[in-house]
Amino acid sequence: MYKWRKLKDRIFFAVILILSIIAITPVIHLIVVTLANGLSVIIRAGPSFFTSIPPAPTSKDVGGIAPSLVGSLMLTALALPITIVIALFSSIMVNEFPRNPLSIAVDVVAKSLASIPTIAVSMVVYLLVVVPMGTFSTLAGVVALTIVSLPYAYTYFSTYLRSIPETYREAAYSIAMSRWKTVTRVFLPIIRRGVLVTVLMTMARILGETAALLFTVGRYRIGVSTSILGPTDALPLLIFDYILTPYRNFQEIAWGAAALLLIAYLIIFIATKLAVRGVKL
């Protein structure tokens, strides 16, 4: 009986191990292939990979990704705080006043936004921002990225806030804390790890978003643009465009940019795990 149980336990363990290996193999393959192809390009190009503009299609130079890199950084720097602030306050409002009609509306809208294809968001922003402005712009990209990442951040924040046991609210109220102080001095510190995780995951989402930028930022690659009202570029767009071309140097640029994005993701992922110590309830 005992031997049979032990055998079943081993079989179960082996099945789990095999399934886990099957699940993570594509991820490992993706990481290895991207880093192998991309890092060699970055190393060959040297620092100019980050400071030069992309090469001409037939050029022998590797060139660089400066316009897309600066564009991505600007888009992230602008869209991330806007997204986080709106998502955090919305989730707090919905958590604190769940029966308020405005909260119900916010919750429904946020959840609905999550199911809208990001390319549709790009088209809407094109009509509402790009057409009236008469130009593609960083601003249009920021609006699209905010709309796309908002439901994501909102859902994360809401889940973390809902996970706080109600006993802490009662404890806070019992010492005469106001609702606002309860949120700022009890709830948010309790979920501080969740807040940071949300910020980092939203940043990763914004950095990697492609479809929302298709009709909004304008793929400006002939120089580095720092204008909010003018066109710009982003790394995912560069990768999307260049990997589909027949030009070898463009494909190399795309691999290099992909490796850079992947490294950024890995850093964000590790930072998320390590950065803030969770609160032990």
Partner 1 sequence: MYAVEMENVNVYIGNRHILKNISLKIPYNSVYVIMGPSGSGKTTILRVINRLIDVNRDARVEGTVKVLGFDALKKDPYELRRYIGMVFQTPNPFPHMTIYDNVAIAAKINGVAKNRKDLDAVVRWALEKAMLWDEVKDRLYDYPHQLSGGQKQRLCLARALAMKPKLLLLDEPTANIDPVNARKLEEAIVSLKDEITVIMVTHYPHQAARVADYVTIVYDGRIVEQGPANQIFLRPTTELAQKLLRGEI
Shortest CB 93 distance to partner 1, Å: 15
Shortest CB 165 distance to partner 1, Å: 8
Shortest CB 92 distance to partner 1, Å: 16
Please say which residue, 81 or 189, places its beta carbon nearer to partner 1: 189
**162 sits in which H/E element:** helix 138-162
Q: How far is CA 179 from the centre of its chain?
A: 31
Give the CA-trace dihedral at 93, 95, 100, 106, to 10 degrees: 60
Residues forming the site for partner 1 (CB under 8 A)? 99, 165-178, 181, 185-186, 189-190, 192, 279-281
Shortest CB 181 distance to partner 1, Å: 7
Please say which residue, 5 or 280, places its beta carbon nearer to partner 1: 280
**16 sits in which H/E element:** helix 2-45
Please say which residue, 58 or 167, places its beta carbon nearer to partner 1: 167
Shortest CB 185 distance to partner 1, Å: 7
Please say which residue, 124 or 177, places its beta carbon nearer to partner 1: 177
Please say which residue, 92 or 259, places its beta carbon nearer to partner 1: 92
Distance CA 207, CA 77 (A): 10
92 Cβ contact list (under 8 Å, min separation 6): 157, 161, 183, 187
User: Which residue pairs, CB below 8 angstroms and at least 24 apart, start in 95-102?
Assistant: 95/158, 95/161, 95/162, 96/179, 96/183
